[in-house]
Amino acid sequence: MGAKLEKIRAGGVCTPKGFRCSAVSCGIKTPDSDKLDLALIVSKHRTVGTAVYTQNEVAAAPVRLSLQYLKTTEPRAVIVNSGNANACTGPAGIEHARKMASATAQALGINRREVQVCSTGIIGVPLPIDRILPRIPELSEKLSEGSDDAARAIMTSDTKPKSIAVKLTVGGESVRIGAIAKGAGMINPQMATMLCFVTTDAAVSKAELVAATREAVDLSFNRISVDGDMSTNDTVVVMANGRAENKPITRNGEGSRAFRDALNFVMLSLAKKIVSDGERVTKMVEVQIRGAGSQIDAERIARAVANSKLVKCSWNGEDPNWGRIIHAVGYSGARVKEEMVDIYFDGVAAAKNGISTNAAIGDLLQVVRKREFTVGIDLNIGKGAYHVYTSDLSPEYVEFNRAEYAAHRQK
Amino acid sequence: MGAKLEKIRAGGVCTPKGFRCSAVSCGIKTPDSDKLDLALIVSKHRTVGTAVYTQNEVAAAPVRLSLQYLKTTEPRAVIVNSGNANACTGPAGIEHARKMASATAQALGINRREVQVCSTGIIGVPLPIDRILPRIPELSEKLSEGSDDAARAIMTSDTKPKSIAVKLTVGGESVRIGAIAKGAGMINPQMATMLCFVTTDAAVSKAELVAATREAVDLSFNRISVDGDMSTNDTVVVMANGRAENKPITRNGEGSRAFRDALNFVMLSLAKKIVSDGERVTKMVEVQIRGAGSQIDAERIARAVANSKLVKCSWNGEDPNWGRIIHAVGYSGARVKEEMVDIYFDGVAAAKNGISTNAAIGDLLQVVRKREFTVGIDLNIGKGAYHVYTSDLSPEYVEFNRAEYAAHRQK
């Protein structure tokens, strides 16, 4: 964190000036429960905004609609439900997403296209739209400056809400960035939805906001996506309303680096929280590759290791099994000289030149017994480097993910 | 199976004329136990032979050595140990593999280069060569026409030995093909070793044997390799000694199709046994893709679905969760029109045109409760087709794979 970046305790999306939030319980997650499952985030004032959506060819209805709206209009509000992804729901799904946008726009007195619509939850089940629409006016009436309820309302299998806010100085003015996020089923978001909503009162040009968002997503949420794949619903929305009244930040202009560092910090903090709170996760592991033939090779290796079922099982078992790691390095598709590969657990060398160092097993065990550690892999053939954040794979994860659809159909 | 193909009860690698086998216990798997862990397979007569090895950049020492020998010499014997992969063992590993070949050649009175060396087991731990070498003369003395012990000696986490033999007629002569195999840790052999040894008394040209082997491996073992990746040690060796005295089978010549069908049947039978006996596997699922834009797209989709952790978890939970399946279809990298996708469980349509058919949940549950079923996915945009065989992912699998290395080091 740069010298001028200050973390704000208990901050969230309402920490920046001019943003408000609310949440209600509609019974989408669980009928007849009081679990919050519908949230609204709004800027009182006009904004510039941008979003990054899933790359999945099967994109949920709200993603398709939001993308269409974003092409012509700056987003000023987000309406989001949990408990149902509104994905694989056909033309009715699009209609439902559009109704959520319209009802929100009507309640707020803004244009429908200024609303981004998000959903997360089960796939392939019709959205219970009749539970959602009647509650939207209430959301508008309840808007306040606390974002805790919204952070809770977007949770699915997360065990805790995820919020952050920071303050920095741009051209002598205090500027704030706030965000809430919800996690992936596990570290590999290809099969679980990641949502993140970022607000800032910075005055920032559209071009700079788009570039800064792309950079921050690449360094954070794309580093926990083990295959570079995303779910049907993954969405990051960033809105800036300029209420800090700083001199507008432009691309490569004054304050641009500080703003980007702050945005990177915000997204990386939430990305790490998502890994750490992954379903039944007991370890957070940073896989650091260096010395690869190219950056692309380094990324291939990092993702192969981070995604290997057997490597993840060994971490769950607190087993410093470097053989399984070099195995995954070997099938990554990258250029590898086995006799050059070094593997470290938090700096303790387990293998050098492709063979065991005979490091004291106790030293290696001390590392893998920690909740967080780093696996360093040096290919020693070039300058390619990359890193990803990943988790272990636990029996409880499998247990947790065994049944869902039939249970839902039989409700 | 063709009309002329006959399965031979209790057959194995010694069913074809002129092949013999033996196995001993050296204490590699477990010191001081009587578990068989070293085996020898030999043809009394000269052979033509071929082999397919792992594509992993990190290849075990015996694989490197065997590949080198195969380049100049027809393989006539296989020496194989379980319990230790002799992988990531540096120059000493190569020296140990060479010693296994030399000792075998000496005991048999053949050339060292006529021996294929295979190992399977833990990676990165020196091979206990001093337990192996003294036992090789005994293996040679014990050679007999039963292959059960050899099939047992190559097992690692397999729960049963895997053998097969068939008889067919080529140009009026009876010809036999026999094989033994050992399984992968689970359906995804990228991280576990698959070994298969095939013998035949057919007279067959080298060119035909190489082409037939490539075809059979592509239709069997490559269809259970979820990433197309192989372990450091995967090896298929095929030896033909011509003792059936049929008119030699040549490429596209008489008997070629029948021979290939038989070889395909042998390898596919063993491949399915490997899936079905995968670690803690409770389901065998055939993923059948049709209507894709190309065969490559069909393969991408099949492997994405078969490799998805969350899809595998749902099968373990006997949950007909087509949403997770279409999700994996979407991120496979293939061209997909979501609104065209149909998904079937054993012919019962769960989704048509990308949305739920509202098939009776009971009908879908009836399928996924079976031990074996087919997931059919029709993209409805082209003629690309592909299929793979895969398994579920169980909590017990993770449990089983949690610890290995430290336990081994602490023994």
Q: Is residue A216 part of a domain?
A: yes
Residues of chain A with pLDDT under 70: 1-3, 184-192, 225-230, 403-411
Which residues are B351's β-sheet partners?
Answer: B343, B356
B88 Rama sector, left if φ>0, alpha if ψ -120 to 50, beta otherwise: left
Q: How far is A365 from chain B (nearest CA, A)?
A: 8
Residues of B in contact with A310 (CB under 8 A): 185, 191-192, 401
For an interface test with A, the pick among B86, B227, B319, B410 (most A C-beta atoms closer than 10 Å) comes out as B319
Q: Judge: A338–B57 Cβ closer than 8 Å, yes or no.
A: yes
Q: Judge: A308–B191 Cβ closer than 8 Å, yes or no.
A: yes
Of B209, B244, B276, which marks where a domain is finished?
B276
Q: Which of the two residues, B104 and A183, has the higher pLDDT score? A: B104
Q: Judge: B124–A323 Cβ closer than 8 Å, yes or no.
A: yes
Catalytic residues of B: 193
A367 Rama sector, left if φ>0, alpha if ψ -120 to 50, beta otherwise: alpha
> What ipTM describes this predicted complex?
0.77
Residues of A in contact with B90 (CB under 8 A): 339, 353-355
Residues B167 and B27 in one domain: yes
Residues of B in contact with A348 (CB under 8 A): none
Residues B306 and B219 in one domain: no
What pLDDT, on the 0 to 100 scale, is given for residue B398? 77
Specify whether the CB–CB gap between B23 and B149 falls below 8 A. Answer: yes
Q: Looking at residue B307, what DSSP letter applies?
A: H
* B-chain residue closest to A359, CA distance: B409
Q: Judge: A232–B321 Cβ closer than 8 Å, yes or no.
A: no
What pLDDT, on the 0 to 100 scale, is given for residue B95? 98
Specify whether the CB–CB gap between A196 and A181 falls below 8 A. Answer: yes
Q: Judge: B329–A190 Cβ closer than 8 Å, yes or no.
A: no
Q: Judge: A331–B396 Cβ closer than 8 Å, yes or no.
A: no
Q: Is residue B408 part of a domain?
A: no
Q: How far is A177 from chain B (nearest CA, A)?
A: 32
Q: What are the start-end ranges of the H helices in B158-255? A: 206-219
What pLDDT, on the 0 to 100 scale, is given for residue A66? 97
Residues of A in contact with B314 (CB under 8 A): 401-405
Residues of B in contact with A87 (CB under 8 A): 323, 327
* B-chain residue closest to A55, CA distance: B331
Of residues A57, A395, A401, nearest to B336 (C-beta): A57
Specify whether the CB–CB gap between A12 and A19 falls below 8 A. Answer: no
Residues B253 and B175 in one domain: yes
**Percentage of chain B exceeding pLDDT 90:** 74
Q: How far is B93 from chain A (nearest CA, A)?
A: 10
Please name the residues in contact with A290: beta carbons below 8 A apart, sequence gap of 6 or more: A298, A376, A377, A378, A379, A384, A385
Confidence of residue B228 (pLDDT cuts 50, 70, 90): very low
What pLDDT, on the 0 to 100 scale, is given for residue B58? 86
Q: What is the pLDDT of residues B293-336, one digit of tens each?
A: 999 999 999 999 998 888 888 999 999 999 889 989 998 989 99
Residues A74 and A199 in one domain: yes
Q: Judge: B320–A402 Cβ closer than 8 Å, yes or no.
A: no
Q: How many angstroms from the chain centroid is the CA of residue B8?
A: 20
Q: Which of the two residues, A230 and B196, has the higher pLDDT score? A: B196
Q: Is residue B161 part of a domain?
A: yes
Of residues A227, A314, A351, nearest to B402 (C-beta): A314
Cα distance between residue B332 and residue B299, in whole Å: 9
* B-chain residue closest to A404, CA distance: B319
Of A224, A255, A276, which marks where a domain is finished?
A276
Q: How many angstroms from the chain centroid is the CA of residue A108?
A: 27
Specify whether the CB–CB gap between B308 and B328 falls below 8 A. Answer: yes
Q: Is residue A398 part of a domain?
A: no
Q: How far is B241 from chain A (nearest CA, A)?
A: 34
What pLDDT, on the 0 to 100 scale, is given for residue B53? 92
Q: How far is A157 from chain B (nearest CA, A)?
A: 14
Place of tokens 């926990």: A224
Residues A258 and A291 in one domain: no
Q: Judge: B124–A56 Cβ closer than 8 Å, yes or no.
A: no
Q: Judge: A401–B314 Cβ closer than 8 Å, yes or no.
A: yes
Angle A82-A84-A87 (CA atoms, 0-180°, nearest 5)? 125
Q: What is the pLDDT of residues B7-48, one digit of tens each?
A: 999 999 999 999 999 999 999 988 778 899 999 999 999 999
Residues A291 and A245 in one domain: no
Specify whether the CB–CB gap between B88 and A338 falls below 8 A. Answer: yes
What pLDDT, on the 0 to 100 scale, is given for residue B405? 67
Q: What is the CATH number of the domain that holds B150?
A: 3.60.70.12
| Helical (H) or strand (E) element with B409 | helix B405-410
Of residues B227, B319, B409, nearest to A406 (C-beta): B319
DSSP secondary structure letters along B174-202: EEEEEEEEE--SSS-GGGS--EEEEEE--
Query: The dihedral of CA B59, B64, B65, B69: what is its sign?
Result: positive
Q: How far is B62 from chain A (nearest CA, A)?
A: 15
Residues B81 and B195 in one domain: yes
Q: Judge: B323–A395 Cβ closer than 8 Å, yes or no.
A: no
State the CB neighbour count (10 A cutoff) for residue A137. Answer: 14
Residues of A in contact with B410 (CB under 8 A): 361
Of residues A58, A320, A410, nearest to B329 (C-beta): A58
Of B243, B260, B276, which marks where a domain is finished?
B276
Q: Is residue B402 part of a domain?
A: no
CA atoms within 13 A on the CB side of B261: 15
Query: The dihedral of CA A20, A25, A29, A35: what is its sign?
Result: positive
Domain that holds residue B28: 6-276
Q: What is the CATH number of the domain that holds B330?
A: 3.10.20.340
Q: What is the pLDDT of residues B179-188, one digit of tens each?
A: 999 986 654 4
What pLDDT, on the 0 to 100 scale, is given for residue B189? 40
Residues B289 and B272 in one domain: no
Helix/strand/coil for B378: strand
Q: Judge: A58–B330 Cβ closer than 8 Å, yes or no.
A: yes
DSSP secondary structure letters along A3-72: TT-EEPTT--TTSSTTEEEEEE--SSSSTTS----EEEEEESS--EEEEEE---SS--HHHHHHHHHHHH
Which residues are A289's β-sheet partners?
Answer: A377, A386
Q: In angstroms, what CA-CA distances link B318 with A406, B311, B321, B365?
A: 9, 11, 9, 7
Confidence of residue B135 (pLDDT cuts 50, 70, 90): very high
What pLDDT, on the 0 to 100 scale, is given for residue B2? 46
B193 has a pLDDT exceeding 50: yes
Structural domain total, chain A = 2
pTM for the model = 0.83
Q: What is the pLDDT of residues B229-279, one digit of tens each?
A: 557 888 999 999 999 999 999 998 999 999 999 999 999 999 999 888 877
Q: Judge: A406–B57 Cβ closer than 8 Å, yes or no.
A: no
Q: Is residue B398 part of a domain?
A: no
Angle B231-B237-B240 (CA atoms, 0-180°, nearest 5)? 170
Q: How far is A224 from chain B (nearest CA, A)?
A: 16
The torsion angles phi and psi of B392, rounded to 5 degrees, stand at -80, 175
Residues A164 and A297 in one domain: no
What pLDDT, on the 0 to 100 scale, is given for residue B409? 63
Cα distance between residue A402 and residue B282, in whole Å: 13
**One-letter amino acid for residue B230 of the chain:** M
Residues A159 and A262 in one domain: yes
For an interface test with B, the pick among A188, A375, A377, A402 (most B C-beta atoms closer than 10 Å) comes out as A402
Residues B59 and B208 in one domain: yes
State the CB neighbour count (10 A cutoff) for residue A164. Answer: 25
Angle A208-A212-A215 (CA atoms, 0-180°, nearest 5)? 145
Q: Is residue A308 part of a domain?
A: yes
Q: Is residue B339 part of a domain?
A: yes
Catalytic residues of A: 193
Residues B311 and B246 in one domain: no
Specify whether the CB–CB gap between A20 and A78 falls below 8 A. Answer: no
